[in-house]
Amino acid sequence: MILGILVLGPALAADSIPEAAVDGQIYRPPIGAQATLWADDSAVGQGALAGASVGWVHEPVVWVWEDTGERVPLVGDAVGIDVLGGYSFWRIRAAVDVPVYPVASSSAGEGGAGLGDIAVDLKGMILDKKTAPLGLAIAVRADLPTASTAAPLAADGFAWEATVIADKQLGPVLLAANIGTRGMPAVEVSNLSVSDQLAWRVGGAFDPGATWGVSLDLAGYAAWADLGNPAGAPAEAMLGGFYRLGDSLKLAAGYGHGISTGIGASNGRAVLSVGWQQAPAKEQPRPVAVVTPEPKPEAKPAPKPEPVVQKPVPPPVVSPPPAPVPTAQSPVVVSGTRILTYQRIAFDGATLRPEGAAQVDQLARYLIARPEIESVRIEGHTDGRGDPSDELALAGTRAGVVLERLVAAGLDRGRFYAAGYGGMRPADPSGTEAARVVNERIDFVVTRWAEGFEPK
């Protein structure tokens, strides 16, 4: 496949290749992306972040003489290193991308090693996908005219890009889409007018919540002034994978190949990156977000003193029976003061997933048949990954959703109250991805039994 092509007509001298002051580097590493290697997502972490990306690209810009069909790679092979750094606070992330090209070979002239265009990148999150139907953010990027490379791997002047980012978490699958516009200096090269462009990126990642995942990205540009010209519409696909080392460090690698004949679409691209994000600080417990107040137990008369009698010799100590465990046949059981369900109550954001709703309905049927359980506290817990205030609110909202479904099933609202604890009470404090899955849960605690009833 011949990609990144500009066709030169016979009117040009056969022994002369005109200078092409175009940006043939269409790939830029996403800063702080959760799982994709090209498309941005709406997430904004908290604190400092840093990273580095090393990439190799083969023949992103190729001249083809129309009369002879001869191909001349204006950029044969190039190796680029992007050094990334930034800081996130509240819902805003500011970052800098410094690209360097230690190797840039060409069959049309001397090598083009040097500095690329330093970029300043700003992203603001509008909707958090954990609490909204989808995530939404706006990103603005400015490419400063700092390039010293002689190869066409940077814009011939100041360039910028404004993009709308939308993403959705569907269980272990993350989907992201970016669309916007890129402004750049107008350049006329042979059969193409290179100027402002439509910018688009889409990506999907499978992240099962462990330490690894895989991704697929499609990305490209199209010149607004020359939309019908395939030379101005580069597009490329990239398959990748990532591996997390704890809460802060992530390694990623990918391979891409052009799927169009536009300038910048490569005949092969490989990327290896490492990213570091400051881990969220462990917060101290604080008052929880209570959705409904806890009912006060009725006052009971003090028991009468029993006459002192000679206690019999205690029987031999017998080991207690094992704690009950829910099964598919008995999906709800009581263990001590805990009510356990066979499967966890699963949510998408603040919305019950179908399997989560089925578990709540089974719990409702169980409680209807157990009137001796007079009061239950519904506790919402999150995985501790997001902003503590947002997670506290999300946990209280989820607990309230479960309460309303139980009431809708016919249970008395006075038997329940709901509270959100956010990430303050992890069931597994190890901080691994597997632990985060366990920590995002709904717990049910019996706070009062019927008078005279003795739970086993």
Burial class (CB in 10 A: 0-12, 13-18, 19+), 35: buried
Boundary (domain end) residue, out of 247, 277, 307: 277
CA 418 – CA 415 distance, rounded (Å) = 11
- Residue 339: give its domain's CATH number: 3.30.1330.60
CA 332 – CA 343 distance, rounded (Å) = 9
244 shares its domain with 187: yes
Instruction: Evaluate whether residue 283 is within a structural domain.
Output: no
201 shares its domain with 142: yes
345 shares its domain with 442: yes
Instruction: Evaluate whether residue 261 is within a structural domain.
Output: yes
243 shares its domain with 330: no
CA 36 – CA 130 distance, rounded (Å) = 18
Q: Along the 456 residues of the chain, how does pLDDT read in single tens digits?
A: 334 545 444 333 345 555 556 778 899 999 989 899 999 999 998 899 999 999 999 888 876 666 666 777 778 889 999 999 999 998 999 999 999 999 888 655 556 788 999 999 999 999 998 888 999 999 999 999 998 887 778 888 899 999 999 999 898 899 999 999 999 888 776 666 778 999 999 999 998 866 899 999 999 999 888 777 887 889 999 999 999 987 789 999 999 999 998 888 899 999 999 999 887 665 555 556 666 666 676 666 666 766 666 666 676 766 666 778 888 888 899 998 999 998 889 999 899 999 999 999 999 999 999 999 999 999 999 998 888 888 999 999 999 999 999 999 999 999 999 999 999 999 999 888 888 889 999 999 999 999 888 877
148 shares its domain with 258: yes
Asked if residues 404 and 416 have their Cβ atoms less than 8 Å apart, the reply is no
Residue 59 sits in which domain range?
5-277
Instruction: Evaluate whether residue 173 is within a structural domain.
Output: yes
Spacing of C-alpha 114 from chain mean position: 33
- 3-state DSSP call for residue 415? helix
Shortest CA distance to 189 belongs to which of 227, 152, 228? 152
Look at residue 12 in the predicted model and tell me its pLDDT.
37
- 3-state DSSP call for residue 138? strand
CA 175 – CA 167 distance, rounded (Å) = 5
234 shares its domain with 362: no
Instruction: Evaluate whether residue 387 is within a structural domain.
Output: yes
Q: Provide the residue type at 255 as one letter.
A: Y
CA 182 – CA 53 distance, rounded (Å) = 22
- Residue 204: give its domain's CATH number: 2.40.160.40
235-245 and 212-223 beta bridge pairing = antiparallel
Length of the chain measured in residues: 456
Q: Which 8-state DSSP code applies to residue 310?
A: P
Asked if residues 141 and 160 have their Cβ atoms less than 8 Å apart, the reply is yes
Boundary (domain end) residue, out of 277, 299, 334: 277
Look at residue 157 in the predicted model and tell me its pLDDT.
87
H runs (alpha helix) in 231-281: none
Boundary (domain end) residue, out of 277, 294, 315: 277
Instruction: Evaluate whether residue 21 is within a structural domain.
Output: yes
Number of domains in the chain: 2
Distances (CA, A) of 28 to 135, 295, 416: 22, 56, 52
270 strand-pairing partners: 56, 255
- 3-state DSSP call for residue 441? strand
50 shares its domain with 174: yes
Dihedral over Cα of 143, 146, 152, 157: its sign:
positive
- DSSP H or E stretch at residue 29: none
Q: Which 8-state DSSP code applies to residue 413?
A: G
Shortest CA distance to 86 belongs to which of 63, 119, 126? 119
- 3-state DSSP call for residue 98? strand
222 shares its domain with 335: no
328 shares its domain with 405: yes
Spacing of C-alpha 361 from chain mean position: 31
347 shares its domain with 404: yes
224 shares its domain with 112: yes
Structure tokens that stand for 273 in this block: 């990156």
Instruction: Evaluate whether residue 456 is within a structural domain.
Output: no
Instruction: Evaluate whether residue 333 is within a structural domain.
Output: yes
Instruction: Evaluate whether residue 419 is within a structural domain.
Output: yes
CA 145 – CA 117 distance, rounded (Å) = 6
Asked if residues 256 and 266 have their Cβ atoms less than 8 Å apart, the reply is yes
The Cα angle at residue 43 between residues 174 and 429, in degrees rounded to 5:
85
Look at residue 153 in the predicted model and tell me its pLDDT.
82
CA 189 – CA 226 distance, rounded (Å) = 12
Structure tokens that stand for 59 in this block: 């023949």
CA 392 – CA 379 distance, rounded (Å) = 11
208 shares its domain with 64: yes
Q: Which residues contact 327 (CB under 8 A, 6 or more apart)?
A: 342
Residue 428, sorted as left (phi over 0), alpha (psi -120 to 50) or beta, turns out to be beta
120 strand-pairing partners: 96, 142
